[in-house]
Structure 1
Amino acid sequence: MHFHVLGTTEVTHHNHHLELGGIRQRAILAYLLLNANKVVATSQLLNAMWNGNPPPTARKMVQNAVSGIRRMLTTTTDTDTTTPALHTHPPGYQLRIDTETIDLYRFRRLVREGRHATTTNNPHHAAHLLTEALTLWRGRALADLVETGTNWSELAAIEDERLSALEDRLDAQLACGKHREITPELEILTTTEPMRERLCHQFMLALYRSGRQVDALRVYRRTREALIDNLGLEPGRELQQLQQRILEHDAKIQTPVLVG
């Protein structure tokens, strides 16, 4: 059984999609998956499902959804000891599960391995691992629930994890001399995330290494304007230093030479 939260909420078994029930049951399953192997208090579930304003029947609705999830988890005939199980565990519930069956946790593992490869000076392997991690995403996390108004703080944090992994992958590709290949992607990303300074830094570096100094400096000005207009802040020191190094044609920011 495999669980998917990086996109529409789905559960598959031998490539067949399982029926997850109504929106409330899907949401409770998704919340338990985000908190896999942790005890989630019933009060926490109620707050998440009804934004702190549960109806009088909310606890019964949660109990019904939990029963439905348990039935779904036991529909398979597998005897695998890793089959997930939803336990009642005061003060709430605990979904005991092998996290390798959840795409979010596989994503996090691959990102950790990719970052380790970066710290051991293996950018090619890092780029491969981080690319593999990012391909697990099929859209916005829990996209079907977001469409119905779900706005958990966990979702914003997971989206930030995706962007950070994307930036790590771009850094690895820059270290591999792939600046020309990633320039079109960075152009789109800096348009959708105009105040994300790390993306701007990467775009400027990719442009400069592609022989486009004027364009790199134009990106700096655009980012600076966005930061001042929206936040009243100047760019950070790293971005300012990169602008100066581009102006000076500093050899330290030229394409890196990989050994081996």
Structure 2
Amino acid sequence: MQFSVLGSTEVTADGVQQELGGVKQRAILGYLVLHANKVVPTSQILAAMWEGNPPPTARKMVQNAVSGIRRMLANDPNAPELLTHAPGYQLRVATDDVDLFRFRALVREGRAAITDGMPSHGVELLRDALSMWRGRALADLVETGIGWSELAAIEDERLSALEDRLDAELVCGRHREITPELEVLTATEPLRERLCLQFMLALYRSGRQADALRVYRRTREALIDGLGLEPGRELRELQQRILEHDAAIQVTAVAA
């Protein structure tokens, strides 16, 4: 049985998508998958489902949802177990059966390859990891108004993996190839300084110094307007190096 949370919540058994029930049941399943193989206290589930203000019948609703999830799991003799384990519940599942955990494993491999001096191989692994995403994590639940902190953290994992991939692409001398992608990313994530730094570097290495400096000014304005902060040291230093035509920020020796 396969569990997918990198997009809308999905569970498949032998390639057949399973019926997951109503919103609360889907949400509780999604929450347990995010915390797979850990005991999740009922109080934590209640706080997540009802934002700290559960109705009097909330515990019964959780119990009913758990019973529904167990009926769904019973469709596959090799399905994981959903155990009642004081003070709550534990979904025991092989990490290879959850796309989130496969994503994290590939990201670790990709980063290790880059650290070991194999940036091109690292790029391939990180691309494979990022290709597993079908939209926002638990997108169907997000549409209902759910905004767990875990989801924001997972989205940050995705962006960090993406930034690592783009850094490795720059090391490989692929600045022209990634410039269009960075243009879109910096427009959607204008406060993410690392993406802006990568865009500036890709533009500069493509012979577009004026455009790189324009990105700096745009990013600075966004940071001041959005957060009341000046750009960080790395971004400021890159701007200065671009102004000085510093040879150290040209295409790296590895790329050459």
- Which category of TM-score, normalised to the shorter sequence, fits these structures? over 0.9
Identity of aligned residues (%): 74
Equivalent-residue separation in structure 1 for 2:169 and 2:13 (angstroms):
35
Amino acid at match of 1:16: V
Q: Which residue of 2 aligns with 1:68?
A: 68
1:203 matched to 2:199? yes
Using the size of structure 1 for normalisation, the TM-score is: 0.96
1:152, distance to aligned residue in structure 2 (A): 0.6
Q: Which residue of 2 aligns with 1:127?
A: 123
1:220 matched to 2:216? yes
Q: Which residue of 2 aligns with 1:234?
A: 230
Please say if residues 3 and 97 of structure 2, whose CA atoms lie closer than 8 Å, have aligned partners that are also in contact. yes
Equivalent-residue separation in structure 1 for 2:201 and 2:193 (angstroms):
12
Please say if residues 172 and 255 of structure 2, whose CA atoms lie closer than 8 Å, have aligned partners that are also in contact. no
Equivalent-residue separation in structure 2 for 1:195 and 1:7 (angstroms):
24
- Partner of 2:176: helix, strand, or coil? helix
1:106 matched to 2:102? yes
Name which of 125, 137, 162 aligns with 2:133: 137
1:259, distance to aligned residue in structure 2 (A): 7.5
Structure 1 residue runs of 4+, over 6 Å off? none
Alignment of 1:173-212 (within 5 A): 173-212=169-208
Where structure 1 has 5 or more consecutive residues not aligned to the other structure, the ranges are none
Name which of 148, 155, 159 aligns with 2:155: 159
Q: Which residue of 2 aligns with 1:150?
A: 146
- Partner of 1:150: helix, strand, or coil? coil
1:4 matched to 2:4? yes
Amino acid at match of 1:176: C
1:142, distance to aligned residue in structure 2 (A): 0.5
Question: Across the two proteins, how many residue pairs are aligned to each other?
Answer: 256
1:172 matched to 2:160? no
Amino acid at match of 1:49: M
Equivalent-residue separation in structure 2 for 1:54 and 1:117 (angstroms):
46
Using the size of structure 2 for normalisation, the TM-score is: 0.97
1:52 matched to 2:48? no
Equivalent-residue separation in structure 2 for 1:47 and 1:240 (angstroms):
42
1:232, distance to aligned residue in structure 2 (A): 2.0
Name which of 88, 95, 107 aligns with 1:92: 88
Task: Report which stretch shifted further, 248-257 or 120-129.
Answer: 248-257
